Amino acid sequence: MGERSAADRLLSVLAAFDHEHPALSLTDISRRAGLSLTTAHRLAGALAAWGALERDASGVYHVGLRLWEVAALAPRGLALRQLALPYLEDLYEATHENVQLAVRDGTEVVYVEWLQGRSAVGVHIRIGARWPLHATGVGLALLAHAGPAVQEEYCSGPLASFTPYTITDPARLRRALAEVRRSGVAVSERQVTQDALSVAAAVSGPGGEVVAAVSVVVPRTGAQVPALAPAVRLAGRGISRALGWRPEHGVR
């Protein structure tokens, strides 16, 4: 058995855990990772000894704090969140609505921070959650500033529908992305839940490349996009500056 195979098996143990399965018995790990019980026991033990997993008194395994320490080093994860948080808090204070920070991972948006607002608007978000790019404000903002080849490949692929208002027509999506680039904000209305509207703006890194997106999610009824857009753009610009972006670097 080669080194590659050993690494794959070790990673399959970690991949067995997700938001729906945060605590697993050894039998669960074995089944979800596709490993024999003996192999699962050996690998889970090694991961627990390192701190990647923790085993409670009942013998159930949980993700360990050592992974949190390592994740804190990720420039697109907790490190980004730490720089962005003051601007996210300012946006929350200005709106008292749901505020989100997200990054792109392939064809999906991954949420790295979420400040919960006062309204009861339906937000199917948690830190680490993933959604297709076309269905969310932050996703549209990220996709609009991805490379032309990335955009074309995405638009030519299947566009999942979550409500009757989700963008599923490639031509309509291309027009929406062009509007994002023109206006500097992405507006997603009733695409994931029918009571919500989100306004998002891109966040640029030191060289001008878009590395994240920030958004505010409000109840669709009574939403004032012209009032929200400048606040979201300001938050995006502030986070960009904190990351080292300057106006001469472009994009923002």
* Cα→Cα distances 75→13, 48, 78, 211, 212, Å: 25, 26, 7, 10, 11
Is the pLDDT at 105 greater than 50, yes or no? Answer: yes
Residue 129: the pLDDT is: 82
- Which CATH architecture best describes the domain 6-70? Orthogonal Bundle (1.10)
Residue 237: the pLDDT is: 95
Domain boundary assignment for the chain: 6-70, 75-243
Residue 120: the pLDDT is: 55
Reading across the β-sheet that carries 53-55, which strands appear in turn?
A: 23-24, 61-63, 53-55
75-243 and 6-70 share a CATH fold: no
Is the pLDDT at 18 greater than 90, yes or no? Answer: no
Token pair, residue 121, equals: 């608007």
pTM of the prediction? 0.73
Of residues 198, 200, 193, 197, the one with CA closest to residue 221: 197
Please write the tens of the pLDDT for every residue from 64-84. Answer: 989 877 876 766 666 788 889
Residue 252: the pLDDT is: 59
Is the pLDDT at 16 greater than 90, yes or no? Answer: yes
Residue 232: the pLDDT is: 96
Mind giving me the DSSP string for 65-126? HHHHHHHTT-TTTHHHHHHHHHHHHHHHHHH-SEEEEEEEETTEEEEEEEE--SS-------
Spatial distance between the Cα atoms of 192 and 184, rounded to a whole number of angstroms: 22
Mean predicted lDDT score pLDDT of the chain: 88
CATH 3.20.20.70 corresponds to the domain 75-243 = no
